[in-house]
A and B are shown apart, each in its own frame.
Chain A
Amino acid sequence: MPYDCVVCVKQVPDTANITTDAMKEDGTVNRAALPAIFNPEDLNALETALEIRDRCGGTVTAISMGPPKAAEVLRECLYRGADRVILLTDRRAAASDTLATSYILSQAIRTLGRYDLVLCGRQAIDGDTAQVGPQIAEKLGLPQITYLEAFLGAEGDRIRVRRNMGHGWEVVESALPALVTVLGTANLPRPRSAKRLMRFKRARTGTELAAELKALLPQASEQEFQAALAARTEELRRQGLLIEEWDLDRIGADLSRCGAAGSPTKVWRVQGIVLTRKVYKQYPATEEGVRELIHELVVDRTLG
C-alpha cells in the first residue's frame, strides 16, 4: 500500500564555527552572516520517507519554512528524490518561536490535504529544542512517535517503528496518519542522484526567478520584465522545475498566531560566551609540582 509522506526540513546556520558577530542587537540570529546548511537530522527524516516510498510506494513532499534562500535545501531534497517541494516564506512569519512555527507548518500540511505520515528531524542544530515535531503533531491531532531509530514496516493504516530513548529502545505500532521525529542514527542519507542533480539544478522559486531575470534584463521596462517573468515561470512550470512558494494567506493562517505576535516566548537577553581568565593555581609539570597539587587536594579535603 502506498503512503504519502510529508517531510519538514530546515535550513540552519552551521553552528560549529560561529561567533557573537552573528547575533543581532535584538538577540535574534543574523542568518545572512553564517554559512547555511541542511539541518542534519532533517536529512535522516527525508531518507526515512524515501525508504518508505522505495518499499511501499507513494510520494514524498518536502516543506521548508524560511527565507527565500531556504529554496537551497528544497533543491537538495529534489536531488535526493523528493517528488514535490514547497517553500513556506513570508516576512510576517519572521521571529516565530517554536509554537508559532509549528502552527504555520501545521497549516501548510493541512493545506496539502492528503498525507499518511509527517516526518521531522528530531531537532535543529540552531536551537536544539526538539519541540516543533511534537507541537505540529498536537496541532494536527496526530499521534507522535519521537526518536525514530528504524522504520520496521507498514501494513494498512499502521506503521511499526523502533524508537530509541537514550537508555533503551522500544518497538511501537501506531495508527496512521501519524508524525515521527527521526534520529541522526536512523540511517545513512543517500547521496544526490547525478541524474536528478542534472535535472533539478535549474529548479527555481518564483522569487529566485525574478531576481535572476532582473540581473539579466537591467534595462527592461516594468512591463517587459513582467512579460518575460510570466513566460519564464510558465516554462519552468511546464518542465516541473518551478518550486512552489506559499505565503501565510495561501495556507489560511491566522496572523495573530504567526511571527512575534504568535510567539509566547521572547528572547530577553543574549550573552556571548566570553572567556574570563580567572586566576588559577599553577603547578609545574614535575614530580615535586604534582606532589604539591595532590597535597593541596588532600588538605582542602577534595581527596582522601
Chain B
Amino acid sequence: MIPVNRQGEVWVYAEQEDGALHDVSLELCGKARQLADQLGVRVGAVLAGHQVAGLADRLIAQGADQVYLVEDSRLAHYQTLPYARVVCRLIEKYHPQIVLYGATPLGRDLAPRVASHLRAGMTADCTDLQIDDVVEPRTQQVHPKLLLQVRPAFGGNIIATIVNYDGWPQMATVREGVMPLLPPNPSRRGQIVREQVELDDTLFVVRLLERHLEPRKVNLKGARVIVAGGGGVGSKENFRLIYELAGAVGGAVGASRAAVDSGFIGKEHQIGQTGTTVRPALYIACGISGAVQHRAGMEESAKIVAINTDPEAPIFSIAHYGIVGDMKQVIPMMIKALRERR
C-alpha cells in the first residue's frame, strides 16, 4: 500500500480497446472530476496502449487534468501482467488517493491484480461514490474526506458502504452506465505526462493466438426509450407486443432476467444487476414485477411507466406512471393511442 496522501489525485484507469475509449472511462472522468473538486485535488487518467496518445484530449475534455501516457508496441492488446505493472508503477510514483476502474471484464481482471500487488483495498462493482468524513467505530478516530464506496451485495439484497481507512489508494470498480456521461468540454486544458515503464519479457507469458470481438448488437445503453418485458409477458409469442410497442415509440427492447431465463428473449437484452444498466429518458416496464436485481439496472431512468396485473408489484414503488392491467390488452391500446397522435 502507499501512504495516506490527502493531496493525492483522483485517478481513472482509461480503458481502451483497439484505439477506442470505453464509455465507462469517460463516465468515470466526470465522477472523478466531482470527487476531486470536493477534495481540492486534480484528476489524473492513466492511458496505456500502443499509439493511443490521440485519446488524451478526450479524457481532458471529460474532466482529466493530467493524462499519464504509457505507449509501447507490446501493449497493443490488453494483457493482465504488463498492464498491471504499468498501473502499479504509476501509483507507486504519484501516490493518488483514489483510483477508479470500469467494472468491465477488463477492469475486473486488472484492478484486483493491482490491488493485490500494492496490498491496497479494492471494492468491486460500485454503484455510487461519495466523499465524507468517517468516524472509525473501533478507535473513534475521524478520517476526513474518505471515499464512500457503495455497492449492492448478496445478490442485490443489501446495499453496503465500504471504506478504506489506510490501505491506500482507495480503489473501486464502477459499473458501466451508473455514472452519467457528461458532455465533453473541448475548451478544458490539461497536461499529457509521458511515462516510461520497464516491461521485461517475463510479463508476456500469456500469448494471444486468436481473437474475435462481437459488436454489441443491442444498443440498450444508447437508447432514449426502452420497452422491457418480464416474466409476466408469458410467452415468446407475446413478446412480439413488446417489439411492436418499442417500434411505435422508437425505442429499444429490454427484458428482465425472468424473461431471459424463460427463453422469451436473448440474454443480450437483459437489464439489471446481471445485464446492462440503463438510464433512458423513458422506461416502460411490461409484466415486470421489479425484483431488486432488475431495479438496480433501471431505476435511474428519468421516467418509468409500469404495466402489471398485480397492484402490489414492487415495480410500482419506483414508477412515475402506472397502469394496473394486462399488458396484452394495454399495449395494443398504447400503440393505437400513439398512432392517433401522428
A264 lies within 8 A of B120 (CB): yes
Interface pair B323/A137, CB less than 8 Å apart = no
In the complex, are the beta carbons of B207 and A172 less than 8 A apart? yes
Q: Which residues of A contact B157 (CB under 8 A)?
A: 15, 18-20, 272-273
Residues on B with beta carbons closer than 8 Å to the beta carbon of A287: 333, 336-337
Interface residues of B in 297-324 (CB under 8 A from A): 302-303, 305-306, 314, 316-324
Alpha-carbon separation in the docked complex, A277 to B80 (Å): 46
Query: Which stretch (B30-38, B55-63, B121-129, B236-244) binds chain A?
Result: B121-129
* Residues from chain A with Cβ under 8 Å of B182 in the complex: none
B93 at the A/B interface (Cβ < 8 Å)? no
Which of A267, A270, A285 is within 8 Å of B330, CB to CB? A285
CA A113 to CA B282, docked complex, whole Å: 57
Whether B142 is near chain A, meaning CB under 8 Å from some CB there, is no
Q: Is the CB of A171 within 8 A of B209?
A: yes
Task: Kindly list the 7 A-B residue pairs having the minimum CB-CB distance in the complex, ordered from nearest.
Answer: A264-B167, A285-B325, A15-B155, A264-B121, A168-B213, A138-B116, A135-B116
Residues of A within 8 A of B197 (CB): none
Assess whether A296 is in contact with B321, with CB atoms less than 8 Å apart: yes
Q: Is B90 an interface residue (CB 8 A)?
A: no
**Distance in angstroms between the alpha carbons of A4 and B40 in the assembled complex:** 52
Q: Which of B162, B209, B316, B322 contacts A266 (CB 8 A)?
A: B162
- Sample of 16 further A-B pairs with CB below 8 A, known A135-B113, A266-B164: A99-B116, A126-B155, A131-B112, A134-B116, A137-B113, A138-B117, A160-B209, A165-B106, A175-B206, A268-B163, A269-B160, A271-B161, A273-B157, A284-B325, A297-B282, A300-B303
Closest to A293 in B: B321
Q: How far is the CB of B14 from chain A (nearest CB, A)?
A: 18
Q: Is residue A33 contacting chain B, with contact meaning CB distance below 8 A? A: no
Contact yes or no, A280 B319, CB < 8 A: yes
A186 and B216 CA atoms in complex are apart in Å by 22
Q: A128 CA to B156 CA in the complex, in Å?
A: 10
**A143 and B80 form a contact (CB under 8 A):** yes
Q: B residues within 8 A CB of A160?
A: 209
CB closest chain-A residue, reference B316: A280
Query: Given known contacts A290-B330, A303-B249, is B162 in contact with A267 (CB within 8 Å)?
Result: yes
8 Å CB contact of B210 from A133, A171, A283, A303: A171
> In the bound complex, do residue B158 and residue A165 qualify as a contact, i.e. CB atoms below 8 Å apart?
no
A223 within 8 A of partner (CB): no
Q: Which residues of A contact B323 (CB under 8 A)?
A: 282-285, 289-290, 293
When chains A and B are docked, how far (Å) is the Cα of A102 from the Cα of B316?
A: 42
Q: Which of A146, A178, A271 contacts B158 (CB 8 A)?
A: A271
Question: What are 6 sample pairs from A and B whose C-beta atoms fall under 8 A apart?
Answer: A16-B155, A143-B205, A147-B109, A169-B212, A268-B134, A293-B323
Residues of A within 8 A of B193 (CB): none
Which residues of chain B are near A302, meaning CB under 8 Å?
281-282, 302-303
Q: How far is the CB of A260 from chain B (nearest CB, A)?
A: 9
Q: A184 to chain B: closest CB distance in Å?
A: 11
Determine the distance from Cα of A293 to Cα of B323 in the docked complex, in whole angstroms: 9
Residues of chain A lying within 8 A (CB to CB) of residue B320: 280-281
**Which chain A residue has the least Cβ–Cβ distance from B280?**
A302
Residue numbers in B under 8 Å from A135 (CB-CB): 112-113, 115-116
| A23 close to chain B: CB less than 8 A | yes
Interface range on chain A (Cβ under 8 Å from partner): 35 or more
Contact A134 B112 (CB under 8 A): yes
Query: 1/0 contact trace for B140-153 toward A, CB 8 Å?
Result: 00000000110001
Whether the pair A128, B207 counts as a contact (CB closer than 8 A) is no
Q: Which residue of A lies closest to B295 (CB)?
A: A273
Interface of A is mostly: mixed
A-to-B contact residues, CB < 8 Å: 13, 15-16, 18-20, 22-23, 27, 29, 97-99, 102, 125-139, 143-147, 160, 165-175, 178, 257, 263-273, 275-278, 280-287, 289-291, 293-294, 296-298, 300, 302-304
The residue that B165 contacts in the complex, of A257, A266, A293, A297, with Cβ under 8 A, is A266
B282 contacts A266, C-beta separation under 8 Å: no
* Chain A residues whose C-beta falls within 8 Å of the C-beta of B115 in the assembled complex: 99, 131, 135
B48 to chain A, nearest CB (A): 18
Cβ A294 vs Cβ B209 within 8 A: no
Residue contact B206 to A126, C-beta cutoff 8 Å: no
B321 near A280 (CB under 8 angstroms)?
yes
Binary contact track B226-244/A, C-beta < 8 Å → 1, others 0: 0000000000000000000
Bound-complex Cα distance A165 to B15 (A)? 14
In the complex, the answer to whether B121 meets A265 with C-beta atoms within 8 Å is yes
- In the complex, the answer to whether A129 meets B125 with C-beta atoms within 8 Å is yes
Given contacts A268-B148, A287-B336, whether A27 and B160 have CB atoms under 8 Å apart is yes
- Name the A residues within 8 Å of B106 (CB-CB): 165
B108 in the interface (beta carbon within 8 A): yes
Tell me whether B329 and A285 are in contact (CB under 8 A): yes
Q: Is the CB of A265 within 8 A of B167?
A: yes
Could you tell me the distance between the alpha carbons of A134 and B8 in the complex, rounded to whole angstroms?
26
Q: Which of A15, A134, A275, A282 contacts B80 (CB 8 A)?
A: A134
CA distance in complex: A82, B154 (Å): 29
The answer to whether A291 and B337 have CB atoms under 8 Å apart is yes
- Whether A144 and B124, one on each chain, are in contact in the complex, defined by CB atoms closer than 8 angstroms, is no
Q: How far is the CA of A147 from the CA of B210 in the complex (A)?
A: 15
Partner of B305, one of A133, A293, A298: A293
Give A265's nearest chain B residue, CB to CB. B121
B210→A290 contact, CB < 8 A: no
Query: Closest approach, in angstroms, between the C-beta of A262 and any C-beta of chain B?
Result: 9
Q: Are the C-beta atoms of B213 and A167 separated by less than 8 Å?
A: yes
